[in-house]
Structure 1
Amino acid sequence: MSLTYITRDGDTLDYIAWKQYGAATTAIVNALLAANFGLADLGPVLSAGVSVVLPTIDADTKKATTQEVTLWT
């Protein structure tokens, strides 16, 4: 069962990553984007009520434990 975060007006992925995982690394933000298809289309500042799936992150390395998507190479 996946955990979800329901956004408040003005939330960003960096803020959600920091609040939920204690860090806002590129790997964590990429994992959030990979777990939430279409989330990037909503823009950098999210409105209230958006459901964001929280992927499993390795607590020691702060890296996603699933495959990550790279938007730019």
Structure 2
Amino acid sequence: MTPTTYEILTVAGDGITLPLLIWRRFKRPMPGLIEATLDANPGLADLGPVLPVGTKIRIPIPAPEAEERPAERISLW
């Protein structure tokens, strides 16, 4: 996954985890994005599984070309 830009998200509620924050942003599975986010935010893992309110997190946004697209259907008839 090659990120092109970063988006800054702020934790705004109690009980928010990194996977939940990513799910709420993208509304679909994003394989490898949790690891890429941890790489982009040194020390984020030290905060624990539940992120403190007000924490700012840089989320890498994958390039549109890198996203999987459904295969085109070809009909012979």
Q: Give TM-score, length-normalised by structure 2.
A: 0.66
Aligned sequence identity (%): 33
Q: Does the CA contact (< 8 Å) of 1:15 and 1:24 recur in 2? A: no
Q: Identify the residue that residue 48 of structure 1 maps to in structure 2.
A: 53
RMSD: 1.9
TM-score (norm 1): 0.69
- Bigger CA radius of gyration: 2
Q: Hey, what's the Cα distance between the residues in 1 that align with 2:33 and 2:55?
A: 18
* Stretches of 4+ aligned residues off by more than 3 angstroms: 23-26
Return 5+ residue gaps in structure 2 as ranges: 69-77
Greater RCO (Cα-Cα under 8 Å, separation 6 or more): 2
Give the aligned length: 61
Cα distance in 2, alignment partners of residues 11 and 24 from structure 1: 17
Question: Which runs of 5 or more structure 1 residues have no equivalent in the other structure?
Answer: 62-73
